[in-house]
Amino acid sequence: MSANTNLTRRELLKGILVIPASAALTNYSFAGVTKANFTTCALGHNDHGKTTLTAALVNVAANKNLVSYENVNAAKVNNINGIQFKASSVHYETAKRIYTHLDCPSHFDHIKNLIAGEKKIDGALLVVSLSDGTMPQTREHILLARKVGITKFIVFLNKKDLIAGNEFIQMEDEFIQMIEEEVQELLSEYDYSKDDVRIISGSALTALQEGATAASDIGTRSVQSLLNAMDEHFPDPIKNVDKLSKAKTLRTFSALVYILAKDEGGREAPFFKGYRPNFALPTLETELSGEVMLPAVVEMVMPGDNLQIKVELDTPMAVHSGQRFIMKEGTKTIGAGIITSLESV
Ligand code: GDP
Ligand code: MG
């Protein structure tokens, strides 16, 4: 079957809408096209429109350059080093790049994808509903993004259709500007400067519902603006970033870890100060023993928690920032982590 079947927008839309909540991160190809690959993800509070925007992006991008349904991957739970989470992976093409875009069904899937996911996120989309503004998971995703090394954000202020013409919101522009400032301020708390952020407003649902001929400013054209902003604002990913970030041989480092919940095959009981699991780095054949040092304010860690820790290995090892590892007790995986700093803060 040809990889570049001429699908109508409607057929394509149907295809996109049946993407199950989880999709395999398998290979894909766009016939005859060699363009830079870029991995992005849709972050943001539950129900703010991440999945709707994901579908809208694929369709709006496909208006210019059709891709076939085969390019959208089928569903599967990701199992990366024993850490399971659900993620959909879709692809779309712009003038500049081929994007791999990840979207997770739940807040916890997002956390696990950021900490343990196989793909490095080159730049993230942050979906904020204009009817709610920033919410707790918005903050948590920004915090995690900073820790795992995401340096650029494009914010999509969604559900503009609910604001437009709303009799209670007299000054639409001022209202949007207020939410923009709120998001910008939240991002700046995690050291994202104005230069690191672009903000677009629109309606993902409108874009998804209207056909190419009915393209409106708050619908299709806002998603097109988002695609343009992604091409312009996200810098090209640096290849072989692992080699570029300097490895150091040391015993202590800081890390962001996710501790598996009991029903994910993790521990049944919490752990405390002095906890000594083994650390398995994908680059090493052997596992290393060491101690988890908890922040002063944390007395115990429950299965299902994610937190910043310091690790003190028993023997020095060559490690680098951004390196991922898993935590084990014997053969049982109890958590996953990413090294956030080689300074033992
Ligand atoms: P997610 O949890 O962030 O993935 O959010 P979803 O994409 O599942 O959307 C949550 C709800 O908001 C669904 O009912 C969507 O139809 C709705 N929604 C998404 N985008 C828009 C929008 O632009 N306008 C309106 N009115 N509703 C939207
Ligand atoms: Mg969703």
pLDDT tens sequence across 137-184: 999 999 999 988 899 999 999 999 998 877 777 688 899 999 999 999
| Distance (Å, whole) CA 340 – CA 239 | 19
Q: Which domain holds residue 246?
A: 242-341
pLDDT digits (tens, 9 = 90+) for 19-72: 333 333 333 445 555 788 999 999 999 999 998 898 889 888 875 433 333 333
Q: Looking at the structure, do residues 207 and 187 belong to the same domain, yes or no?
A: yes
Owner of token pair 């993004």: 145
Same domain? For 35 and 158 the reply is yes
- Ligand 1 nearest atom to the CA of residue 202, by list position: 23
Q: Is 107 marked active-site?
A: yes
Would you say the CB of residue 56 lies under 6 angstroms from ligand 1? no
Q: What angle do CA 180, 111, 273 make, to 5 degrees?
A: 120
108 and 139: one domain? yes
Residue 259 has φ and ψ, to the nearest 5°, of: -100, 120
- Is 51 among the catalytic positions? yes
Q: Do residues 213 and 335 share a domain?
A: no
Q: What angle do CA 10, 25, 190 make, to 5 degrees?
A: 95
Does the pLDDT at position 3 exceed 70? no
What are the start-end ranges of the E strands in 183-275?
197-201, 248-259, 271-272
Torsion-angle region of 214 (φ positive above 0: left; ψ -120 to 50: alpha; else: beta): alpha
The single residue listed with the structure tokens 């009817």 is 131
Residues in the chain: 345
- Residue that finishes a domain, picked among 207, 233, 259: 233
Tell me, using a 6 A CB cutoff, whether residue 52 lines ligand 1.
yes
Residues 103 and 175 in one domain: yes
Rounded CA-CA distance 190/143 in Å is 6
At which of 173, 207, 233 does a domain end?
233
Known catalytic membership, residue 328: no
* Same domain, residue pair 95 and 125: yes
Would the CB of 106 count as within 6 Å of ligand 1?
Answer: no
